[in-house]
Amino acid sequence: MHGDFPEAKDTDFDDSSWYDVGLPHSFGIPYFMENEFYVGYGCYRKTLWMEKDWIEKKIYLEFQGVFQETEVYLNGKLAGTHKGGYTAFLIDLSRFACEGENQLFVRVNNLWNPRLAPRSGEHVFNGGIYRDVSLLVVEPVHIGWYGTYVTTPEVNEKYAKIKIETEINNTTENPISCLLESVVEFGQEKEAKAVEKVALLPGETKICCQTVTVEKPFLWSPETPNLYVLESRLIEGGNCLDSYRTDFGIRWFLFSGDKGFFLNGRHYDINGANVHQDHAGWADAVTHSGIRRDVAMIKGCGMNFIRGSHYPHHTYFANECDRQGVLFWSECCFWGTGGPNVEGYWTASAYPVMPEDEEEFENSCLTTLREMIRTNRNHPSIIVWSMCNEPFFSDAGVWNKAKNLLKKMVALTHELDSSRPAAVGGVQRGGFDILGDLAGYNGDGAADSRLERNLFSQRKI
């Protein structure tokens, strides 16, 4: 129901007048690109049935995206919160779950927040639970959520060395010894396998590294979107504690300041478009088939690249780019827009103008960036992480702080994923374009003098 009903966390709250909705949902439905939209609270209630044998396990609720501040209650108790409207997050329900019926209450608002990115943007910011929600039930010892990270430190047409990093969580109060088995398959044929012993202390999280080699790899490209499957299994005493599937692709690429872009060793022209996430009528509540269609439309008109403007897209979007064969620029939401720079709405300065807002805002950008990379890092279609769009639309007095934030975001990107460049998007003004490995220019393009000075580094990825 639209509105704020904090008392609806109670199990005996009467919600008989509330609307019956399915997911994905948006506060703004029906929505047809009007400039005005609903800004406020919306609340959801649902009865969840928990099986008896789940109660000894870890129970999580995974949200792929809620715009933009979320509180999740189970049986009247606050289970977790999240700030940020475009990235997936996990809420642990284990503590408060009981066998049988459980009352779930989710309280959401899309109020403008000076300390939460984006502070501005030339688009709309409809609220609600607008992407998938899944109930995850796992053993107390399990592979971490989005816990695999697959890279190819050595790759060519003859072979690919595949580095597999797997995060394992032991949430019990006991030490554990188990085996991590990682099998790489292509078209259901086993290509490579690694098995390693893993020992974890009570409460420990560990990342295990394994390396395998695949001969004559089937390379991924927009023309040949070949995908491999990594099946990860945790085995204790012959029993499978957990299994996890990761789709990935083998390719290599290079951005060169003077020669252009190269994919799998060959020069490759990029031709694409910005894609926003909303659909007519449904606002941001877009189904998987809707996402599939969006990517297909880009591909169908001869393009090979999408810029996910100007925020992290649904993880399924990158799935479809992998599967259909479209290169993807995945962008974080440090976003500015031209206009009055007035606090209180999404026409504000991109970077905060009040000093007391700065620290939390910067943390929101870094957290969103971290979440975007973690949940999307195995997609072969993603060739760049972008930090921003038009951050120069900040109050002139805070430009240096905005630039410093971008430097921090670029550094964090390098730390989290050295296999891809960190770009700054929409940086055609103010000297913001030298802050990343790549620069994207909107509108009237780059200042010529910067191109001539060849400031971009050459990186083989």
> Is 15 or 247 the residue whose CB approaches other proteins more closely?
15
Q: Is the peptide bond between 310 and the residue preceding it cis, with omega within 30 degrees of 0?
A: yes
Q: How far is the CB of 328 from other proteins (least distance, A)?
A: 19
Q: Which residues contact 292 (CB under 8 A, 6 or more apart)?
A: 320, 324
Q: How far is the CB of 54 from other proteins (least distance, A)?
A: 20
Amino acid identity, position 415? E
107 contacts 6 by C-beta, under 8 angstroms: yes
d(CA 377, CA 136): 21
> Is 36 or 269 the residue whose CB approaches other proteins more closely?
36
Q: What is the dihedral of CA 17, 22, 27, 33, to 10 degrees?
A: -140
Amino acid identity, position 276? H
Q: Which residues contact 289 (CB under 8 A, 6 or more apart)?
A: none
Residues forming a β-bridge with 177 = 199
Q: How far is the CB of 23 from other proteins (least distance, A)?
A: 9
d(CA 284, CA 28): 9
Sheet containing 141-155, strands listed edge to edge, beginning at the edge strand earlier in sequence: 141-155, 159-170, 205-215
> Is 209 or 296 the residue whose CB approaches other proteins more closely?
296
Sheet containing 58-63, strands listed edge to edge, beginning at the edge strand earlier in sequence: 89-92, 58-63, 133-138
Residues forming a β-bridge with 220 = 225
d(CA 366, CA 387): 9
Q: How far is the CB of 160 from other proteins (least distance, A)?
A: 34
> Is 18 or 218 the residue whose CB approaches other proteins more closely?
18
> Residue 291: which H helix or E strand, with range?
helix 288-300
> Is 208 or 291 the residue whose CB approaches other proteins more closely?
291
Q: Is the peptide bond between 24 and the residue preceding it cis, with omega within 30 degrees of 0?
A: yes
Q: How far is the CB of 444 from other proteins (least distance, A)?
A: 4
> Is 285 or 366 the residue whose CB approaches other proteins more closely?
285
Q: How far is the CB of 448 from other proteins (least distance, A)?
A: 7
Q: Encode burial over 437-453: b for 16+ CB neighbours within 10 A, e otherwise.
A: bbbbbeeeeeeeeebee
Q: How far is the CB of 398 from other proteins (least distance, A)?
A: 15
Give contact residues for other proteins (rule: CB under 8 A).
2-3, 17-22, 24, 27-30, 34-39, 122, 279-282, 285, 287, 289-290, 293, 296-297, 300, 338-342, 344-347, 392-393, 428-430, 442-444, 447-448
d(CA 205, CA 320): 31
Q: How far is the CB of 165 from other proteins (least distance, A)?
A: 35
> Is 75 or 341 the residue whose CB approaches other proteins more closely?
341
Q: How far is the CB of 312 from other proteins (least distance, A)?
A: 22
Q: How far is the CB of 122 from other proteins (least distance, A)?
A: 6
Residues forming a β-bridge with 102 = 48
> Is 141 or 348 the residue whose CB approaches other proteins more closely?
348
> Is 35 or 188 the residue whose CB approaches other proteins more closely?
35
Q: Measuring CA to CA, how many Å separate 177 from each of 196, 201, 207, 234, 243?
A: 11, 9, 14, 10, 16
> Is 40 or 203 the residue whose CB approaches other proteins more closely?
40
Q: Tokens standing for 132?
A: 């998938």
Taking phi first (over 0 means left), then psi (-120 to 50 degrees means alpha), and beta for anything else, what does residue 325 get?
Answer: left
Q: How far is the CB of 194 from other proteins (least distance, A)?
A: 37
> Is 258 or 448 the residue whose CB approaches other proteins more closely?
448
